[in-house]
Structure 1
Amino acid sequence: MFSGKLQARQRHPGPEDERYSFGRTLAYGIQHILTMYGGVIAPPLIIGGAAGLSAADMGLLVTAGLFVSGAATLLQTLGLGRVGSRLPIVQGISFVTVSTMVTIAQSDGLRSVYGAIIVSGLIGLVLSSFFARLVRLFPAVVTGTIITVIGLSLMPVAFTWALGNDPHKSGYGSMGNIGLAGLTLLAILVISRVFQGAISRLSILIGLILGTVVAALAGRTDFSAVGQTKLIALPSILPFGSPVFNVGAIVSMTIVMLVIMTETVADVITIGEIVGAEIDTGRVADGLRADMASSAVAPLFGSFPCSAFAQNIGLVALTGIKSRFVVATGGLVLLLLGFVPVFGAVVAGIPYPVLGGAGVVLFGTVAASGIRTLARVEFHDNLNMVIVAVGLAGGLIPIAAPTFWDAFPQWFAVIMQSGISATAISAIVLNLLFNVLTIGNRSGASVFAAADDERDGFGERIDDDIRH
């Protein structure tokens, strides 16, 4: 399925080029958007809250995110020259970058976030062809550790939302706020458990709606910004001012962008296997270029980096609808929603406790995805356990001890204060030292490997005892 050779030959039509009637194409496309909608509006709300934006500005972030996600999806599915994989891949605002962007926004402001995205996106665009070959530097032990930390580092955001987000406002930490978050979480869990198919996949969106309705009945919502927002408007250019280029923020964001590129490689190969399309290194590089190009341009519209949405890859496998034109139609719907600012204002009016209840599931799912990746890692007679242990520890420092890096130079502190950056640096370096540079390696020489063997033996003895 996947060839390591770069090929510039013309691609023959494949299953992904199948076309349906307009009605079916539109219906299937909207289904893709509903599947990923909760995930695409969450990052703007998280980052906007961290940057202290007003409800009106938060609405602007949401509509910008919808517009850029739609444009990125069209670029990925339809392609433009050697940009775009031309596969049924839905693009949306990446969760992977959220934790790092929150850290930068809180320390240097939103304009520094945009500057870091532009530079790191351009770096990724330049490296796309080479990265398709260098993905071996990001094996499952590295990416699994990073993704796990991404989910764990976002959990405090969900808990802060559940409390009310702003400690200076009355009612922060009240039982009413926590109860509203718990009710939203319960609704999502019940819908996920009781219903099947499309309704179950929409559990996040339905939970947000139910939680907001209950909050409105209790007088806990504020949609005043909706009346002050235009119904239809063109996306603004640099709505929050010109970008600021901070070296520490750029380094931190570039590391995270490499993680996005790793995920994109995996997503392109995975969707190729599901669809039955021919995938080579050149096509992977084309997909990376679409990711990086859309990410680099996103700040011009006030939005953030884009990446493939894994849940939509699952939807392709579940429905058997392999057409890239279906996904492109969904991307067009997202793009059009970006022209409706009042829609973003409505989303921005969702109470923070409601978002907190949904955030527990959303962010926990990211961590669980990382654990699932780590489950594929071989831990026997090697030092992979050390890589995971040190990577997780570095990533949790900003959560457990927020002032840990304060005495270090500011550029270094910005990098390490992001749990994702700290995890990525430690996991990549240790993987190079332990698994890539094999000179001097001896089987079973590590105390960790010996401990692992002892645990395996202990588990086998317990199994024997149970059988007898």
Structure 2
Amino acid sequence: MSAVHPVDRRPGAGELLLGALQHVGAMYTGVVAPPLVIGAAVGLDPAKLSLLIGASLFTSGIATLLQTLGIWRFGARLPLVNGVTFASVAPVQAIAEEHAGPSALGYVYGATLIGGALMVLLAPVFSRLLTFFPPVVTGTVITLIGVSLLPVTAQWVADQKPSANWRDVLLAGFTLLAVLVCNRFLSGVLGRIGLLIGLVAGTLLAWPLGAIDTSSFSKAEAFGIASPFHFGAPAFDIAAIISIVIAVIVTMAESTADMIALGEIVERPTGQRTLADGLRADGLASAVSTVFGGFLATAFAQNIGVVALTRVRSRYVVAGCGVLLVLLGMFPVVGGIVALVPQPVLGGAGIVLFGSVAVAGIRTLTRADLSRPANVAIVAASLGIGLLPVVAPGFYAHFPAAVRTIMNSGISAGCIAAVVLNLVFRERSAREA
């Protein structure tokens, strides 16, 4: 009788709940940020904006459950958290400028519906790209995923201000220290929830320092969920469809990189079938989300960091995160509790979270032959290209919208560069041989 792989291990109820809470804490800000930006772009009032945020949480939960548990050929069955991708924000803003007012969301949902269906159809094609991802490429992309998320950490530490103050740094530093202490000295279940312990400890310190904003909790309703097509039935416009389809291609490239990275971390390498099933789940979740008011769904890289740091590889723990996201979408008051965690506290945890992903990439690069000048050139150039939009966010500001959508994502830009350069150098090596 073969042993159960850690990915398929079913933990006890207590460990499952605590592990799921860690994942929610790591990704909550990321999943509510896109609807905040989109809601402002289309001019939603506060009540409708709250429903839009709830819809994003609800649909992210459905997408996560589909990805972790799977139905037929939909779902990678990996500990993969799915949520609203920021790749859709720029196209949605462009659609909002073309179709003024809240009615613009109907065109967004029409384009997303088609984009989701296209993702399902293209999944087998993308899955064949795995042949273009040897260790020199996957290691570079995984490293880039971790490093490109560090500016998010800086924004969290500074509480979205231009610069951090002493209180922000104190909270972030204390949380980071708590996570590291737990990781070093605790074992068993407590060791696996070190991130959650750190977040709670940082939040408790923030309370007497006056760093906790209770407004979201005090104003939150006990229950509230958008009815089907609450923000408008799908409408169709060719320009809107093209802009979302570009975002779909970027999303598929990022999801591919994330699934490969996660497969390396949990020691269950992502094969063609797993990748195709995962991309199908992204597409189906994106299409279904249009009914409830959600947007394009993709894998969340920050949660890959949670898996790498805590070494909790069970997909059922992440499925528990999906259940919690559904509840957060249905019960805004619960989301208000999660929102009590100050951003500097999240930033302190994010330093080690995202760094853990980068370490996983470096570990993968050790399997590549870096004594070969060609491999060094691939890694160096790809990291440089991928980090350009990270260190200089406005670098592509004057380029066409389609170029900005692709190149403003350091992950997709670096991934494309690594794949192309690997092909070029491999072809050259073949000719020389």
Q: TM-score range by the shorter chain?
A: 0.7 to 0.9
Q: Confirm or deny: 8 A CA contact 2:24 2:325 kept in the other structure.
A: no
Task: Compute the displacement of 1:389 (Å).
Answer: 0.9
Task: Compute the displacement of 1:69 (Å).
Answer: 4.2
1:92 aligns with 2:81: yes
Task: Compute the displacement of 1:342 (Å).
Answer: 1.0
Query: Matched residue of 2:255: which SS?
Result: helix
Corresponding position of 2:129: 134
Task: Compute the displacement of 1:40 (Å).
Answer: 3.3
Corresponding position of 1:184: 175
Distance 2:231 2:136 in 1: 38
Please tell me whether Structure 1 or Structure 2 has the larger radius of gyration of its CA atoms. Answer: 1
Match of 1:381 among 353, 362, 372: 372
1:280–1:356: structure 2 CA closer, same or farther, 3 Å change rule? closer
Task: Compute the displacement of 1:301 (Å).
Answer: 3.6
Residue ranges of structure 2 left out of the alignment (5+ in a row): 97-103
Deviation string for 1:147-182 (max 9, x for gaps)?
A: 322322221222222223134xxxx53212222222
Distance 1:40 1:174 in 2: 24
The count of corresponding residues between Structure 1 and Structure 2 is 411
Query: Matched residue of 1:208: which SS?
Result: helix
Instruction: Give the counterpart letter for 1:147 in structure 2.
Output: I
Match of 2:23 among 21, 33, 36: 36
Distance 1:156 1:371 in 2: 19
Query: Matched residue of 2:397: which SS?
Result: coil
Distance 2:108 2:374 in 1: 35
Distance 2:243 2:392 in 1: 20
Instruction: Give the counterpart letter for 1:146 in structure 2.
Output: V
Distance 2:245 2:109 in 1: 10
1:399-410 alignment runs, 5 A limit: 399-410=390-401
Corresponding position of 1:162: 157
Corresponding position of 1:302: 294
Residue ranges of structure 1 left out of the alignment (5+ in a row): 1-13, 443-468
1:127–1:250: structure 2 CA closer, same or farther, 3 Å change rule? closer
Distance 2:412 2:342 in 1: 30
Corresponding position of 2:140: 145
Query: Matched residue of 1:440: which SS?
Result: helix
Distance 1:225 1:239 in 2: 22
1:130–1:20: structure 2 CA closer, same or farther, 3 Å change rule? closer
Corresponding position of 2:253: 258
Instruction: Give the counterpart letter for 1:307 in structure 2.
Output: A
Instruction: Give the counterpart letter for 2:82 in structure 1.
Output: I
Match of 1:245 among 221, 240, 246: 240
Query: Matched residue of 2:184: which SS?
Result: helix
Corresponding position of 1:200: 191
Corresponding position of 1:434: 425
Match of 2:410 among 413, 419, 432: 419
Tell me which moved more, 217-226 or 100-109. Answer: 100-109
Distance 2:360 2:265 in 1: 15
Distance 1:252 1:371 in 2: 28
1:228–1:316: structure 2 CA closer, same or farther, 3 Å change rule? closer
1:359–1:118: structure 2 CA closer, same or farther, 3 Å change rule? farther
Deviation string for 1:346-405 (max 9, x for gaps)?
A: 222332222222222222223222222222222233512111111111112123334433
Match of 2:200 among 192, 206, 209: 209
Distance 1:201 1:55 in 2: 38
1:372 aligns with 2:363: yes
Q: Identity of aligned pairs, percent?
A: 37
Distance 2:316 2:346 in 1: 32
Q: Confirm or deny: 8 A CA contact 2:382 2:414 kept in the other structure.
A: yes
Instruction: Give the counterpart letter for 2:119 in structure 1.
Output: G
Query: Matched residue of 1:219: which SS?
Result: coil
Distance 2:396 2:271 in 1: 43
Instruction: Give the counterpart letter for 1:302 in structure 2.
Output: G
1:45–1:325: structure 2 CA closer, same or farther, 3 Å change rule? closer
Query: Matched residue of 1:424: which SS?
Result: helix
Task: Compute the displacement of 1:304 (Å).
Answer: 5.2
